[in-house]
Amino acid sequence: MLRSMKKALIVLVLLAAAAYVASWFWAGDEVAAAAARPWPDGLGTLAAVPDRYPPQHENEAARKLTKLAGPVAENDAVTAYVRQEIARGDLVIAEPPAIAGISAIRDLLLLREPIVWERDLAQQHGGLLPKVAMHLTLMRALVASALGRARRNDVGAWDDLHAAWNLTKALDEHPHVILRAVAMSMTRAINAVAWKMPLPAPPWFDEVRNRDFVRPLIETMQCENWRTWKYEFFPLKAFAVRIERERILAGDLARETACEFNRVTEPVDRKDPNGGLDIGWKRAFRYRAEREATANALRARAGQPIEEGSRCSDGRWSFDGKTLRFAKPIALPEKLDTSMPLTLNVRE
């Protein structure tokens, strides 16, 4: 009898201890309060996220594209060629390698019907992870084709870039981390070679010039917090702290005006989808200078004055009649992507 009472007492003590420890971590009210605070730049609360990205279904154009893309395999020679040309800071364009037949894909992407992929915020990566390699492979093939045609001064080169841009825009309304990174990679590649295309630039290219990736990355940060808030079974204090920390960080990022971004957001946490986004933020801020580089290079090639001012508070542009220069280099530790130079020789 005494032994049973001791066991029962031990169980009660352990339960009390567990409840005491849990009280330190359980934070339903704190998480709810953090989730209810509005994010900067008009993004609203976490509850507002699904309203910006309602479910949508894959359309017929997307199904046709998937079928046409099937035979187009990833090509290391094409990838190396595109990276080489992005990194080249002069107008010389090398002969491209053999490129798979993409005329039907280009024609499809130039039709008025946009590519629409399935969208479901509840799915990891929106369910589109299998499409990532296809997007990158097709983009590189189209960019390589554009460079080859530009080498012959064929104005049809812009059609290849336009098709690549329409492919990129199909990822615009998908806020998941990897899809944002892929869309940014594709956009930077298109912009990085556009200054070598035959003059003049077509009107659609204004969309590339006006694209900015800082707000989309902030939206992604908020969306990842929404996913955790929506599907995390236990509301813990650590998550309430994370929501508030990243909400404040988002405000700082929205106000950032320098294009050389050196701020480390957080120590990398493998469980945190935003933990490895430092290079993504660096690319997003640098892209502001990259798009100005392309716009000014096209102006200079057309004999028009450049815009010396910059959206970047840490630099300006100069042109000596041959070479276009940003005030300082902005180096990125690229491994998978390639950054265009910010010094361009626009006269052969």
| 23-37, 215-229, 285-299 — most confident range | 285-299
Closest Cα to residue 36, out of 215, 251, 254, 225? 225
129 beta partners: none
For the stretch 255-267, pLDDT in tens is 999 999 886 544 4
Q: What is the pLDDT of residue 126?
A: 77
The amino acid present at 182, given as its one-letter code, is V
pLDDT band at 232 (very low <50, low <70, confident <90, very high): confident
Could you tell me the CA-to-CA distances from 53 to 43, 132, 136, 167 in Å, in that order?
12, 19, 23, 19
Q: Give the model's pLDDT for residue 1.
A: 55
Residue 252 has pLDDT above 50, yes or no: yes
Give the residue extent of every domain in the chain: 54-217+280-287
Average pLDDT, integer, range 163-167: 98
pLDDT tens digits, one per residue of 14-65: 444 333 344 444 457 888 899 999 999 899 999 999 999 999 999 999 999 9
In the prediction, which pLDDT does 163 show? 98
Look up residue 260 and give its amino acid: E
- Range list of H helices, 88-175: 103-109, 129-151, 157-169
List the beta bridge partners of residue 343: 325
